[in-house]
Structure 1
Amino acid sequence: MKNIRNILIPLCIFVLFSCEDELTKVPNFISEDNIFESESLTEAYLAKIYQDLRFINFGGDNGYNVGMIPAIGGEHICYADWQTPNTTYQRTYSAAAGDGPVGYYPWNNIRDANYVIENIANSSSFEQGYIDAKTAEAKYLRAHMYFEMVKRYGGVPLITEVQYVDDPEETLYPSRSTEQEIYDFIISELDAAIPFLSTDPTGGQGRVDRWTALSLKSRAALYAASIANFGEVQLDGVVGIPNAQAESYYQMSYDASKEILDSGNFSLYNAYDDKVENYINLFLDDGNSEVIFAQVFEPIVKGTGFDRLAFPAEFRGGWGCNFPVLYDIVELFDFQDGRLGTSISRDELTANNSWDIDEFFGNRDPRFRASVFYPETTFKGGLIYFHSSTLYTNNVGEKVESTSGNLDRGGEVWPAAAHPRNVRNTGLLRRKSVNESLDLPNSGESGQDFSIFRLGEIYLNLAEAAFYLNNMDESLAAINMLRERVDMPLYDQITEDNLRKERQVELCFETHRYWDLVRWRIAPEYLDDVRMKGLVFKYDLDEDRYIVTLKNAEPVTREFGPERYYFPIDQGIIADNPKWIQNPGY
């Protein structure tokens, strides 16, 4: 909705694309009419769309908003209640309050994608192959933005042409399309783009290719299928998809997933024999065989503060301890001997029981041990502590409890209590994606990439689509591929429950669980009328065991009514365009 005749091309984008010569030829302000006569300017224009798309939200003190979707999905929260992820899960969602920080209305960025699609074809300088490839890239980016909106709001206005302020009102203020129309648009745009995108895998370097587009198709079609299968059509289809459409969307998701898996371009990461070490490094070994598309970072030049925020207190260089893991998600991780993660009943977590830490945590799924810091986790050659006090027998034979100083544990220095930052919230911290090789990390020093699409998700997408297409053998085989990688007992049959649990475990903290609970229409079972739990650890030095008890990890009881399957439309949006009717329940 903006009328822009000149755009600012940032110096940093020119440097990024090695366009030094252009800097000597053009001023900082460049007419839009000249963009598509120069590959350097075209690449810079597209780079700005990538930059503004927000594949991963690293806002907030150099990155704590990366925890926003895990927080509203009940996986991990943030250290302090004032931080945006915590205010987001605690907020009341209403017409008056709107959707808050989780909202996403990328109209300016969509306008820029539309501008590429409309105008690059008029270039007198480019070969047709280049025009087709860049048009396809812009179509993908536009489709990705619409997917981010449709999963939040259902149907939204579908704007596929550049708008100008002197356009007629019916052009400037369109009505909301139906949710099905938006999903169909996303899929059709991807189908149009796929033939012109590179078949050479470039997504690991942060550039869209054929496999990136197929991955979004795999995911988006699966979401549409779920909404048709489990949802309800309301507002004449502005939200909801007719149930009769579910099978066709499952088939589309299955076909896209199958093409990726059959391509031979990707494989499950298996670089290390140790299953915990292997899963840790899956998220640190940039551009590895499993990564289909990643948001790429480089230390200092284009780094993040993720490790500064995530490091445990013993090794932090700055804020630290910022992503406390909720015990509710821990219970989804089963044990390698076949016991369920819930086989340790919450009723057993009392002051009268004590636990060997390996019995409690160490024999769980290797994906848990690779994803969560827990008591006595080995890190950087030392141990991470989470106990609030230590019980021991003193020199006069009395059992006492200490919270300060150091004790002797068989010749090893043992702190009577862990650092308060480790203990404060849940007694557990996020480990997934944390780079152990950094030394006291500061802002901007984290350079690990963040996968937007990886092969593990594609196996899960295929398994889910195959399940609902009644292809149980293929669904089971796909799930067992992931379990075999981490030496977990293989399933002998596939069920809806173990299919969904496997997805939550494999993709934990990767911004999937919230959206999955919503599209399956089961979010109230896990996120309504509940206060998530943390753990309190007391260490018994005499027994080398822990007393483990539960505590409330959150200051408020979560609320999630069925209206929350869609976020409310911000009142400012409706004031600007009254055709944006409000979502049901608000």
Structure 2
Amino acid sequence: MKIYSYLLLGAMFLLGGCSDLLDIDPKNKIPADELFSTPEGVQAHMANLYGRLPIEDFTYSPNRGFNVGVGTDVNNAGFMAAHFCDEAIHPEYNDFGEEWFDYWEDGYKLIRDLNSLLVTIPTLTSITEQQKNEINAETHFLRAYTYFALAKRYGGVPIIKEPQEYNGNIEELRVPRNTEKDTWDFVLEECDQAVSLFGDANENDVLRANKWVALALKSRAALYAASVAKFTHQPYVSFSGPAVDQKLVGIEVISADHYYDECISASQEIMNSGKFGLYKPSPATPEEATTNYQKLFEQPFQCLDGLKEPIFMKAYAANTILAHNYDVWFSPRQMILDPNLYPGRMNPTLDFVDSFEDYTDDGTGTPKPISTRVDGNESDYNGFNLSTRYLSFPIDKPYQAFAGRDARLSAMVLFPGQNFGSTKIIIQGGLVKADGSGYHYRTQASEKGQDGLIYYTYGAEKSTEYSGFDPTLGHYTRSGFLFKKFLQIENPVEQAWSKGTQPWIDFRYGEILLNYAEAVIEKTTSTSAEKQAAQDALNAVRKRAAHKDDIALTQANVRKERFVELAFENKRRWDLSRWRTFHKEFENRVRKGLVPFLDLRTNPAHYVFVRVNPLGIESKTFDYSWYYKSIPGTGANGLVQNP
């Protein structure tokens, strides 16, 4: 596919700092017409722009920004957006104090180059009118995407549509902030402009922007704008200050339905196109559903036949500067033995695991927490107690504790005793003495079982033979769970940096269905026909996970379904933010874990599971001020600061 050359060239320019290539003016070393005089020049230029797009993908790090890992700069400590919400904890670094997720200077550098390109396109004589039109459409999409990344962080930002030139008066370059409403309106206008210009161009290419990608962005952005309008006021949140007074943050609630309608319209166009659908929407069994869901993210290029679920993807290439390190950071310790690599950094929380349904399918969609105790008390996080009667699970199959849960859970989370490829992954955190006189926890020890065999606290003697709870290194899960979504499990990658090649799905049909369902249930004037279509969309997503019942279209059901369906796709943190519920979800909150103890008091020994506050994981509080990021450099640029 042609976009591969785009991506590889883009990575080269990113590594070499060749952004000057895009400063299209008479002073540039490469004149615009010369740059676009050959197909290679066009590819190089567009590759740079695509490569700088703020996609929160495998190479995005909240503390380091975008394209972390391009070239040799690979070490971001394994931080991902999931660590900042209720999806996962990090086994080495727990709470982070102030929020990260900044994006300002690089955004406006990209906007500068996009504005220059839009001015230059009509003057070019070396490309056809059709090529001009396609580049024009792509540029409007890229600009919409960039302003979307700014708007969801800062609210209203300066909207700059033309290239700026310095003529000795710095004040002429100082552009004030637009209102938040104006900013979101501009994002949607840019999406509409891209849609109108694209026509049928690139429409079957999931690695390049096209009409459907622009509509998917509009669906996502309009939903965010609608949420800002509906929830950025009392009783949800309350802000004050100059930015509020000037409407630089917040949108009047009366505008919410308009933005929900924009989301509904964009989503419907995709849904009615006859080009997209859920991958394997009707599995015969939960096991089949698990396999299908896992394949969608591990091998998405093999999931493009018929109605496609991926709408827009970002590709990578092995043994080049354009690869990623997800498999190194997040594979189990037993799979990554090189001392210079750092595995096991994504530990799904018990909070996340408990959010999944079983297959009771009683029409309620109610999550089913993992059962651990005979008395059914699943609110005790005080650790192991010798007198408590725990449910027991076979020594060779501890993962039976999670049997019967929603198929997507086992497609995303690795449970104790399951295989990663051909390797059995040992996750164990405690050992109960055979005579019942005590137990070992958080320290490696050995005990003889009633069968005469020697057992260890962490499930094995050597630190390379187990994958959980050892506090001496950050390679081991502290939640009791490991991560598998996206990872190359059947064909593990080489133990080295920059070997990951599975593509990132940025927009997919499953998200569009859930966007549509949410917009309909939140809009105050939704028709009965819209509500029925939205309920069908919601349940289509669930039935792809082998559920048989239909659940009601409610806010709670839609939000729960987004949590479990879109997990680890860097959506959850932004969902909690736009709903303005982050500060309620995280007020001195400790994310939970589940520790497998091997109980030697029986022969054969058996496993029990104990709910805990994980070792070293501090409480997390989301500060009100984090809903809007602080704008950098206000002393120099004169912009009004956020509250």
Q: What is the TM-score of this pair, normalised by structure 2? A: 0.78
The one-letter amino acid of 1:257's match is S
The one-letter amino acid of 1:215's match is A
Q: Match for 2:296 among 269, 282, 293?
A: 282
Shift of 1:133: 0.8
Show CA shifts across 1:518-545 (max 9, x none).
Answer: 1111111212221222232212253523
Contact 2:198 2:211 in 1 (8 A): yes
Q: Distance in 1 between matches of 2:314 and 2:37?
A: 28
User: Is residue 91 from structure 1 mapped to residue 91 from structure 2 by the alignment?
Assistant: no
Shift of 1:250: 0.7
Structure-2 residue corresponding to 1:341: 368
Q: Aligned in 2, Cα 1:204/1:307: closer, same or farther, shift over 3 Å?
A: farther
Structure-1 residue corresponding to 2:3: none
The one-letter amino acid of 2:522's match is Y
Structure-1 residue corresponding to 2:196: 195
The one-letter amino acid of 2:85's match is G
Q: Match for 1:504 among 547, 551, 563?
A: 563
Q: Aligned in 2, Cα 1:412/1:209: closer, same or farther, shift over 3 Å?
A: farther
Contact 2:412 2:484 in 1 (8 A): yes
Structure-1 residue corresponding to 2:63: none
Q: Which runs of 5+ in 2 are unaligned?
A: 1-8, 15-27, 61-66, 234-238, 372-376, 472-477
Q: Distance in 1 between matches of 2:407 and 2:562?
A: 15
Q: Distance in 1 between matches of 2:11 and 2:315?
A: 19
Q: Distance in 2 between matches of 1:311 and 1:286?
A: 19
Shift of 1:64: 4.7
3-state SS of the aligned residue for 1:538? strand
Q: Distance in 2 between matches of 1:404 and 1:115?
A: 65
Structure-1 residue corresponding to 2:544: 485
Q: Distance in 2 between matches of 1:521 and 1:231?
A: 7
Structure-2 residue corresponding to 1:381: 422
The one-letter amino acid of 2:390's match is S
3-state SS of the aligned residue for 2:431? strand
Q: Distance in 2 between matches of 1:408 and 1:383?
A: 21
Q: Aligned in 2, Cα 1:568/1:325: closer, same or farther, shift over 3 Å?
A: same
Q: Distance in 2 between matches of 1:409 and 1:152?
A: 58
Structure-2 residue corresponding to 1:77: 89
User: Is residue 575 from structure 1 mapped to residue 576 from structure 2 by the alignment?
Assistant: no
Q: Match for 1:429 among 465, 473, 482?
A: 482
3-state SS of the aligned residue for 1:536? strand
Q: Which runs of 5+ in 1 are unaligned?
A: 1-8, 15-27, 94-99
Q: Aligned in 2, Cα 1:569/1:36: closer, same or farther, shift over 3 Å?
A: same
The one-letter amino acid of 1:282's match is L
Q: Aligned in 2, Cα 1:483/1:385: closer, same or farther, shift over 3 Å?
A: same
Q: Aligned in 2, Cα 1:400/1:564: closer, same or farther, shift over 3 Å?
A: closer
Structure-2 residue corresponding to 1:530: 589
Structure-2 residue corresponding to 1:21: none
Shift of 1:286: 2.6
Q: Distance in 2 between matches of 1:66 and 1:136?
A: 35
Q: Distance in 1 between matches of 2:311 and 2:448?
A: 49
After the TM superposition, which residues 20-99 of structure 1 pair with which residues of structure 2 at under 5 Å, given as runs? 29-32=29-32, 34-55=34-55, 56=57, 57=60, 58-59=67-68, 62=74, 64=76, 67-81=79-93, 90-92=96-98
Structure-2 residue corresponding to 1:5: none
User: Is residue 561 from structure 1 mapped to residue 623 from structure 2 by the alignment?
Assistant: yes
Q: Distance in 2 between matches of 1:412 and 1:239?
A: 65
After the TM superposition, which residues 312-391 of structure 1 pair with which residues of structure 2 at under 5 Å, given as runs? 312-317=332-337, 318-338=341-361, 340-342=367-369, 344=371, 345-348=377-380, 350-351=384-385, 352-355=388-391, 356=393, 357-358=398-399, 360-391=401-432
Shift of 1:66: 7.0
Structure-2 residue corresponding to 1:307: 327
Contact 1:203 1:212 in 2 (8 A): no
Shift of 1:65: 7.1
Q: Aligned in 2, Cα 1:386/1:200: closer, same or farther, shift over 3 Å?
A: farther
After the TM superposition, which residues 73-472 of structure 1 pair with which residues of structure 2 at under 5 Å, given as runs? 73-81=85-93, 90-92=96-98, 100=100, 102-105=102-105, 106-166=107-167, 168-197=169-198, 199=200, 205-232=206-233, 234-270=244-280, 274-287=288-301, 288=303, 289-301=308-320, 302-317=322-337, 318-338=341-361, 340-342=367-369, 344=371, 345-348=377-380, 350-351=384-385, 352-355=388-391, 356=393, 357-358=398-399, 360-391=401-432, 393=434, 403=444, 417-418=458-459, 419=463, 422-423=468-469, 424=471, 425-436=478-489, 437-469=491-523, 470=526, 471-472=530-531
Contact 1:63 1:305 in 2 (8 A): no
Q: Distance in 2 between matches of 1:353 and 1:204?
A: 57
Shift of 1:62: 2.7
Q: Aligned in 2, Cα 1:332/1:385: closer, same or farther, shift over 3 Å?
A: same
The one-letter amino acid of 2:346's match is F
Q: Distance in 2 between matches of 1:407 and 1:197?
A: 70
Q: Aligned in 2, Cα 1:165/1:487: closer, same or farther, shift over 3 Å?
A: same
The one-letter amino acid of 1:504's match is F
What percent identity do the matched residue pairs reach?
A: 28
The one-letter amino acid of 1:75's match is E
Q: Distance in 1 between matches of 2:447 and 2:51?
A: 49
The one-letter amino acid of 2:502's match is Q
Q: Distance in 2 between matches of 1:415 and 1:169?
A: 68
The one-letter amino acid of 2:127's match is F
Shift of 1:556: 3.3
Which stretch has the larger CA shift, 340-349 or 52-61? 340-349
Structure-1 residue corresponding to 2:24: none
Q: Match for 1:547 among 591, 609, 615?
A: 609
Aligned residues: 546
3-state SS of the aligned residue for 1:546? strand
Which stretch has the larger CA shift, 150-159 or 195-204? 195-204
Structure-2 residue corresponding to 1:25: none
Shift of 1:516: 0.7
3-state SS of the aligned residue for 1:283? helix
Q: Aligned in 2, Cα 1:167/1:49: closer, same or farther, shift over 3 Å?
A: farther
Shift of 1:333: 1.5
Contact 2:141 2:214 in 1 (8 A): yes
Structure-2 residue corresponding to 1:4: none
3-state SS of the aligned residue for 2:144? helix
Shift of 1:51: 1.0
Contact 1:90 1:556 in 2 (8 A): no
Q: Distance in 2 between matches of 1:298 and 1:241?
A: 42
Q: Aligned in 2, Cα 1:398/1:172: closer, same or farther, shift over 3 Å?
A: closer
Q: Aligned in 2, Cα 1:540/1:465: closer, same or farther, shift over 3 Å?
A: same
Q: What is the TM-score of this pair, normalised by structure 1? A: 0.85
The one-letter amino acid of 2:629's match is F
Q: Aligned in 2, Cα 1:551/1:557: closer, same or farther, shift over 3 Å?
A: closer
Q: Aligned in 2, Cα 1:407/1:59: closer, same or farther, shift over 3 Å?
A: farther
Show CA shifts across 1:54-85 (max 9, x none).
Answer: 3121526637577432122232233322xxxx
The one-letter amino acid of 1:30's match is I
Q: Distance in 2 between matches of 1:308 and 1:132?
A: 41
The one-letter amino acid of 1:384's match is I
Q: Which structure is higher in helix share?
A: 1
Q: Distance in 1 between matches of 2:201 and 2:543?
A: 28
RMSD of aligned alpha carbons:
3.0
Contact 2:11 2:51 in 1 (8 A): no
3-state SS of the aligned residue for 1:53? coil
Contact 1:203 1:293 in 2 (8 A): no
The one-letter amino acid of 1:270's match is K
